[in-house]
Amino acid sequence: MTKSFQQAFNALKEHTCLSYAKIATMGGLCNVDHIIVKATAPNGSPLSDKYVHQLLRLFAISPPCCRAFSLGFARRLGKTRSWRVALKCLLLLHRLLRSSPEDSLFRTELLINRSNGSISLYPCNFRDVSSSDPESFTAFIRSYARLVDEISNEDNHRRRPGPPNNSLEEIGRVLEVLEQIQSLIDRVIECKPTGVTARNFLIQTAMKHIIRDSFVCYTVFKNDIVFLLENMFQMPTYRCCISAFDVYRKAALQADRLYEFYQWCKLMGVCGCYEYPFVDRIPLLQIQALESFINGMWEIKDDNGDHQSPSSSSLSSTAEKVGDEGEEERQPLIKLNDDDDDSWEDILEASVVNFSSHGSDEKDEWRIQVYNPFDGKYVSSDPNYPWRH
């Protein structure tokens, strides 16, 4: 009885807000609050493009409308208990963020209201009382809110202008961007709907925007990971090398989850199959070989007094970290055919090549050729060593 009363009261409240917005519009009193209410009506219709365009025009013509939107959005999302209203609020904000420059006043006002607590996307306190399966809808709204929160906080994953410079600043920037993209991909995977939400029309409409957003992220990720792999053996500091290896190791583990997520989205009919990028897989054996080489490389430098030994670093526990992901992750990410006769010793020997020293006074150094699955080439630790196809 209490649940039915809550649903009826919530429906009446949303209907009253929508009716007031329509009356104000006909009377010529339309403002940002009214547009937000009309755009987030608690019905089965998807978010209309016209409301997004109306708000963008208002932001361009009247900058104070940016602050009015932030306050109106906070009130609308904070008071509603309808998953439809909450979903449209998040989708509206998501689309406005994707259509606004990084230095726009709209983003500035949004960050101010997030910092002072007026807008709370993560943690999100929304709880649905309008459906027969409130737990599933509540979980999806909260996951989506966390994704939008990261998008509004940092938007550096967009394609950088011009070619990268092979410098310490560029390497640090690429590492930062790659970590942000990997975090965004994790948030996207967490948005996978469950239960009755998986086949809901409005949820699938929102998933199309979420998935297409991940396509852009993954495309930029593949381009930047190539640059990172090419410069991994010329890292100026041990800490920088560790960070690069951690990003590459996480990319190997994350690829399986992303592949399975995309396969599920294809089965559910979210976006066209031709839109999905090819998810590159990295063999776990390569990660282990790369770990061993990096340990040896920095131990040699420590003998020369250039840097500390990595014996206490996180690299020594990579196998354990990978094992913690579950039994499924302990299998190679790229499986060999059953008729292949190559043993793992042969594969490892093919990945690590010993180059003799060029002078009698120099010590022998180990150099590694790491296969780059993103462009089908081998990357050598020797900057003068030619590519191998």
For residue 369, the surrounding DSSP H or E stretch is strand 365-372
Please choose, from the candidates 207, 217, 68, the residue with its C-alpha nearest in 3D space to the C-alpha of residue 141: 207
Lowest mean pLDDT among 16-25, 42-51, 105-114: 16-25
Q: How buried is residue 312: exposed, middle or buried, by Cβ count under 10 Å (0-12/13-18/19+)?
A: exposed
Q: Is 270 helix (H, G, I), strand (E, B) or coil?
A: coil
Please choose, from the candidates 97, 76, 98, the residue with its C-alpha nearest in 3D space to the C-alpha of residue 87: 76
CA 19 to chain centre: 38
pLDDT one-digit tens code per residue, 226-247: 888 888 877 777 888 888 899 9
Burial call 173-185: b when 16+ CB within 10 Å, e when fewer: bbbebbebbbbbb
**pLDDT confidence of residue 336:** 43
Q: Does residue 214 carry a pLDDT above 50? A: yes
Question: Other CB atoms closer than 10 Å to residue 53's CB: what's the count?
Answer: 11
Residues 235, 241 contacting (CB under 8 angstroms): yes
Residues 310, 238 contacting (CB under 8 angstroms): yes
Q: Does residue 334 carry a pLDDT above 70? A: no
Mean local confidence (pLDDT), 257-286:
92
| Angle subtended at Cα 101 by Cα 153 and Cα 174, rounded to the nearest 5 degrees | 60
Residues 368, 381 contacting (CB under 8 angstroms): yes
Mean local confidence (pLDDT), 94-98:
95
**pLDDT confidence of residue 2:** 65
Question: Other CB atoms closer than 10 Å to residue 386's CB: what's the count?
Answer: 7
- For the stretch 116-121, contacts whose Cβ atoms lie closer than 8 Å and that sit 24 or more positions apart, written own/partner, are 118/70, 118/71, 118/74, 119/70, 119/73, 119/74, 119/77, 120/78, 121/145, 121/146, 121/148, 121/149, 121/152
pLDDT one-digit tens code per residue, 111-165: 899 888 889 999 999 999 999 899 999 999 999 999 999 998 865 444 444 444 5
pLDDT one-digit tens code per residue, 304-315: 545 444 443 444
Q: Does residue 11 carry a pLDDT above 60? A: no
Domains and CATH numbers, the chain: 1-133 (1.25.40), 157-299 (1.20.58.150)
**pLDDT confidence of residue 371:** 52
Q: Is 355 helix (H, G, I), strand (E, B) or coil?
A: strand
